[in-house]
Structure 1
């Protein structure tokens, strides 16, 4: 049985794609996943399955589409992949409020993209991750999921430092 950290993109954001976590947990249990947990309202899930990542993602995506009518991108990582992503963060972590991890649905080969006006914000593309350091703050940065998706032809979802660390804690405590 493998433990996965699952990230949903675009639910419970600005009143769109409302998905109560209790209903989501019920769906995931009904789909046969084990030890299902959710964290906050933004589509963070920890679960166990015998199946591989792509099967897990497709099952969740199809289940949400069928039960709730939302076409929601689903990204999964194993515990070792999650730990590696955290360990490889290349920027200072002295101010965790400006640290974020962008999880991609597939590996990319680009290392730079053309982005104008990012001021002191920094990013690093590394396979299926993008690390961002937003000195201007997340409310002002141009380094967004939409930008990365458009420029790299991927699905992207971002989690801040606190959420990224908390998901690892929850996944390894179970």
Structure 2
């Protein structure tokens, strides 16, 4: 059984997709997850999975759609993968709230990365490292100079982003416990 960070994107923002964290935990538990905990109300969960992580993610996506009436992709990573993403952030961090890790559903193709590189970014910066895209917003995510949606479309893979403060907390929450 593997401890995982399980993320769902675009929930509880703007009122279009409400997923209460109590329901998020309940759905995971009903599918066999244990030691379930959430962090803030934006689709961050840490739990121990009963089997194959990809299969669990897919079943959890279906459960959200059945219970909430909307589809959102679920993306999960192991503690080690989230730690590596945090440690591998390629930009200077002036403010952790301006620096993000976008957890990608798949690794983008070189053609997708090349297409995204042609888009204007102003002073914002991004870099793909494996299945993560790292972003540093010059003026914060609330005032981006680049179009996140356009970059995502060019990359051709879905993602969900978390700022470095949240990623750091998820690393802490998913750390193995010593008995």
What's the TM-score once normalised by structure 2's chain length?
0.90
Aligned residues of 2:109 and 2:155 also touching (Cα < 8 A):
no
Cα separation, 2, equivalents of 1:87 and 1:29: 30
Whole-angstrom CA distance in 2 between matches of 1:68 and 1:101: 26
1:155 and 1:145, CA in 2 relative to 1: closer, same or farther beyond 3 A? farther
Give the equivalent residue in structure 1 for 2:171: 168
Q: Is the 8 A contact 1:5 1:78 kept in 2?
A: yes
Tell me how far 1:50 sits from its aligned partner: 3.1
Q: How big is each residue's C-alpha offset from its partner over 1:58-96, in whole Å with a ceiling of 9 and x where there is no partner? A: 111011112222211110101111111111111112322
User: For the residues of structure 2 that align with 1:7 and 1:141, how far apart are their CA atoms?
Assistant: 23
2:96 is the alignment partner of 1:68: no
Q: Partners in 2 of 1:9 and 1:146 — Cα distance?
A: 13
1:25-53: CA deviations, max 9, x gaps? 11211111111111111100111113122
Count of residues in correspondence between the two structures = 173
- Cα 1:66–1:123 change in 2 (3 A) is same
Residues 5 and 51 (structure 1), Cα distance of their counterparts in 2 relative to 1, 3 Å cut:
same
Within 5 Å, which residues of 2 pair with 1:58-137?
58-110=58-110, 111-112=113-114, 113=116, 114-116=118-120, 118-137=121-140
Structure 1 contact 145–158 (Cα < 8 Å) conserved: no
User: How big is the alpha-carbon RMSD for the aligned residues of Structure 1 and Structure 2?
Assistant: 1.6
Q: Which runs of 5+ in 2 are unaligned?
A: none
Q: TM-score, normalization: structure 1?
A: 0.92
Does the 8 A contact of 2:122 with 2:145 survive in 1? Answer: no
For 1:148 and 1:48, locate their aligned partners in 2 and report how far apart those are by CA, in whole Å.
33
